[in-house]
Structure 1
Amino acid sequence: MERRYIQQLTPQEQVREVFRAGGKQLRPNRHGALYLQLDLTDRTGTINARMWNASEQLYRSFENGDYVRVEGTTQIYQGALQLIVSRIQRVNSDEVDPADFTPVAPCQVDHLMNRLAELLRGLRNPALRNLAECFLLDEAFLRDLAKAPAGMKFHHAYEGGLVDHVVNLMELARLVAPRYPELDAELLLMGAFLHDIGKVRELTYEREYGYSDAGQLLGHLVIGTQMLEEKIRRSEELAGEPFPAELALRLKHMIVSHHGQLDFGSPKPPMTLEALALHCLDHLDAWMAAFRQCIKEDPNVDSAWTAFHSQLDRKLFKGTPAATAPFGLAAEQSPEPPA
């Protein structure tokens, strides 16, 4: 029977399919009865699932990252599609095609990696160019960068999502910098490259998307500054001279301030022109990606409006098919769901 992918599911549909499990939790309801909550994923996305009247034995019968065969019914809850599970059972990995569970990247990762190297090697500032080269010579870092997502759900949450976000931000920096002559264009470009590098160590993305111990305890802002310090030391060894102290300080500030506000996780708000520009461009690219994904995956296919998204705290207007064509939603421009 032809596989049904998450992006193809509709409300009130009977489902019997294999997914990858993640984020499982065994919780008591208000009456004390246990229920299982987890995320189910395939190559097209993630759906939240719940199984009522669960047991600890069932909870321990599979691990996060395992493949599970699930039976249940879809429904809309708080504006999102979820699956009410009636049965769940672990499946051996040799019984599935791993390609069915690798998130589909809407980008050409090899092309993005080449473009990244081109942009970094075009830097004219010798200190920045030497620093960039230290990253480009690190094969392990480049492998991780090509695989890592930029986020867990809405923010470029697919293999290669991080380099997609980073390169897009660097291209935006090149467009914006000439409009503000006071900006150091090369510093902004390097900051766009560096701002999220800590995510290659903050996130886990081999079996399922999650957070490493370092990610939980430190976060990508701290990890990113540590990685920058490592490469600054390496660039000093290769150049045979100290890296400019103020330049290092400005780069670190861009990493730690790019979330923009203290209550968004930044230990410092942006206090330089380049840090402010980076925050605004990062915010733009992340939210554009989130809006596009919500519109693309909205279950209200017959409505001009999406369902209410609790994480975005709003509905989104989709408009007519012609109006949403730039988002890849027009029938003649969007690829068929994978068979």
Structure 2
Amino acid sequence: MAEVFIEQLIPGQAVNSIFVLKAKKLLPLRNGTGHYLAVVLGDRTGQMEGRVWEPVYEIYHSCRVGDIVLVQGQASEYNGTVQIQISAMSVCREGETNPGRFLPSSKLEQDAAREKIVSVIESMHNTHLKRLLSLIFSDNDFLNALLTSPAAKRNHHAAIGGLMEHTLGIVSAAEQIAPVYPKIDRDLLVAGALLHDIGKVEEYSLGTDIDFTDEGRLLGHIVLGARLLDKYISGLPEFPEELRLKLLHMIVSHHGQYEWQSPKRPKFLEAAILHHLDMIDAAVDMFSSAVESRADQEEHWTGWVKGLDRYVFCK
């Protein structure tokens, strides 16, 4: 089946593609003899209206709002807009679809991300941190989750692979800032950067949208991350207790302030720097995304950006 997205559809084009059913409504025909079905379909590129004239009631009762549906029909023009004249619509089975049809994806290449992680681990002089990171990132299930997870539901790096992009952005910043301030424990800061958000692999789920898992909603990524880190450390009996506490503290304090859901504020240098690097990387993505996604690329200002609570200057 050809991958056709909503933004690509033109009048007269045959449609045989997968969308999310965002809305449906039975409406009366003008002659009063029955109903037609009006639907709204969506994917990562936008949304479009569709019409079902036959079989109306069968499709209406078999498909629910939120379902991922296979739609067959033809694109047509009505009142200056494109809509789909639907001849068939059926619910897709679980596992038949890729979240990439509905969600944006990070531009970070997965192979490049893997290579960067290997090089970071090889650069470690602290043998305990090197063993721990080697253990964690040799877990293919964890690594694959990290490569595909978002860093947030909204605001910054809210995309497939956004978590790895965010993580490696902070790692690169940590590597650059450490030589500037000789008092920084470079290996500790870089390891903290790699591990600070690992709980997000259990916090979010991917479907037609980014959503929270039950654990994510009830516990949050900070608690989940500390728990996950402790699980890996338990597999290294000789791992120093003080180093364990420092890494755990970097996870639980990286939000920096109690009002930002941080259980603790940073209590040592590397934890404090990690918090600020986390804020910087998120800000870079939020400002950049606001500029890149504005409707009119010639405008010098974006619209109101909710996550930043301001307009953004683009010139």
- Asked whether 1:305 is paired with 2:294, we answer no
Q: How many Å separate the matches in 1 of 2:67 and 2:307?
A: 24
Match of 1:188 in 2: 189
User: Residue type of the partner of 2:288?
Assistant: R
Match of 2:281 in 1: 285
1:36-75 maps to which residues of 2 (within 5 A)? 42-44=43-45, 61-62=63-64, 64=66, 66-67=68-69
Match of 1:130 in 2: 131
Q: Which has the higher contact order (CA 8 A, sep 6+)?
A: 1
> What SS does structure 2 have at the residue aligned with 1:5?
helix
- Asked whether 1:255 is paired with 2:251, we answer yes
| Post-superposition offset of 1:258 | 0.6
- Segments of 4+ moved more than 6 angstroms: none
Match of 1:92 in 2: 91
| Post-superposition offset of 1:3 | 4.2
Q: How many Å separate the matches in 2 of 1:275 and 1:317?
A: 32
Gaps of 5+ in 1: 9-16, 25-38, 50-57, 72-88, 320-339
Match of 1:212 in 2: 213
Gaps of 5+ in 2: 10-16, 24-39, 50-59, 76-87
Match of 1:269 in 2: 265
TM-score normalised by the chain length of structure 1: 0.69
Task: Tell me if the contact between 2:70 and 2:92 (Cα under 8 Å) persists in the aligned partners.
Answer: no
> What SS does structure 1 have at the residue aligned with 2:20?
strand
| Post-superposition offset of 1:59 | 11
Task: Tell me if the contact between 1:42 and 1:103 (Cα under 8 Å) persists in the aligned partners.
Answer: no
Q: How many Å separate the matches in 2 of 1:217 and 1:179?
A: 40
Q: How many Å separate the matches in 2 of 1:157 and 1:310?
A: 14
- Asked whether 1:317 is paired with 2:305, we answer no
Q: How many residues align?
A: 277
The C-alpha deviation readout for 1:112-134, integer Å capped at 9, x for no partner, is 12211220232111111111111
Q: How many Å separate the matches in 1 of 2:215 and 2:309?
A: 30
Task: Tell me if the contact between 2:18 and 2:70 (Cα under 8 Å) persists in the aligned partners.
Answer: yes
User: Residue type of the partner of 1:234?
Assistant: G
| Post-superposition offset of 1:141 | 0.4
- Asked whether 1:20 is paired with 2:16, we answer no
The C-alpha deviation readout for 1:113-159, integer Å capped at 9, x for no partner, is 22112202321111111111110221110111111111113321222
The C-alpha deviation readout for 1:200-259, integer Å capped at 9, x for no partner, is 0011125531111100110000000001100101122xxxx2x21111111111101111
For the aligned residues, what is the CA RMSD? Answer: 4.1
Q: How many Å separate the matches in 2 of 1:301 and 1:112?
A: 30
Over alpha carbons, which structure has the higher Rg?
2
User: Residue type of the partner of 2:299?
Assistant: S
Match of 2:56 in 1: none
Task: Tell me if the contact between 2:203 and 2:216 (Cα under 8 Å) persists in the aligned partners.
Answer: yes
Q: Kindly tell me: are residues 65 and 174 of structure 1, through their superposed partners in 2, closer, same or farther at Cα, counting changes over 3 Å?
A: farther
